[in-house]
Amino acid sequence: MRIRHLILPLIAAALVLGGCSGSSDDTVDPAALQARLTAAKKTIDDAETITISLVTKGLPSGVTGLLSAKGQGNHSPAFDGKVTVLTGGTSLGAEVIAVGGQVFAKTSFAPVFLSIDPATLKAPDPASLLARDTGITQILAKTEKLAQGDKSRDGKDVLTTITGTLPGSLVRDIIPSAAADKTFTVSYRLDDDDVLRDATLKGPFYPEGGDVTYTVKLTTSDTPVTIEKPARR
């Protein structure tokens, strides 16, 4: 009898505690999430210099495309860094300078910078990724079906995850071979100051091989950087 009297209060307490923990509404207004993404975009767009890393862990067999683009640039737009593409089953890395709508590359096979068309390698003009209106930050303003995901930790920082979808026509501005008629998923991680830590995009970036995942990291600086066309030799 005494046990019965103990059990009933315990059940009641459990119900009360359960009600308290579940009473907080985990659903966040999409407008509030968009406001955070807009703030993150402004921070990047207002910066003098952006360091960018656009990387995939691998491409499907037989696909020619971008493995990574890493470097720094500005909103003129211009880029100076290293780009690695996969072509013919072999990865090819090159020093790349992109400025004034032209892309120049220097590989281990060539002693000088040569003008190239990155579209032939199904890769973007890396400078175009840094343009304010048409570059990679436009996805922060145009993501659909926003939802808040789980918290995650990056070192001592606790980051908020925001998920959503992107139309292929928009993603095609980033990777020119992306399927314009398909939908891509995107996941952003922001710190408490609404600074973008990274973004992960997944979808049919190439006609063959199924979905590919790219991770984008952008860091900013108030120190200007000057990038010019390589000298002809």
**Does any domain span residue 88?**
yes
For residue 107, being part of any structural domain is answered with yes
- Flag residues of the chain having pLDDT under 50: 1-25
Task: State the pLDDT at residue 148.
Answer: 96
CA geometry: angle 73, 76, 77, nearest 5 deg: 55
Q: Is 12 exposed, middle or buried (0-12, 13-18, 19+ CB in 10 A)?
A: exposed
Q: Tell me which residue of 43, 101, 30, 103 sits closest to 71, measured CA to CA.
A: 103
- Distance, CA of 53 to CA of 214 (rounded, Å): 10
Q: Are 129 and 114 in contact (CB under 8 A)?
A: no
Token couple for 95: 């020093």
CB 36 within 8 A of CB 12: no
The pLDDT of residue 26 is 59
Provide the pLDDT for residue 122: 83
* Domain-located, residue 152: yes
pLDDT of residue 121: 82
For position 74, what pLDDT does the model report? 97
Peptide bond into 77 cis (omega under 30): yes
Q: What does the alpha-carbon distance between residue 117 and residue 123 come to, in Å, rounded to a whole number?
A: 9
Does any domain span residue 3? Answer: no
Asked whether residue 229 is assigned to any structural domain, the reply reads no
Whether 233 is in a domain gets the answer no
**Domain range enclosing 97:** 30-221
Burial code (b: 16+ CB inside 10 Å, e: under 16) for 165-194 equals ebebebbbbbbbbbbeebebbbbbbbeeeb
Domain CATH code at residue 34:
2.50.20.20
Q: CA–CA distance from 117 to each of 20, 74, 83, 191 (Å)?
A: 60, 21, 13, 37
If one counts the domains in the chain, the total is: 1
Structural domain includes residue 10? no
Rounded CA gap, 83 and 210, in Å?
23
| pTM of the predicted protein model | 0.85
Domain membership of residue 6 (yes or no) is no
- Give the pLDDT score at 127: 96
pLDDT for position 232: 63
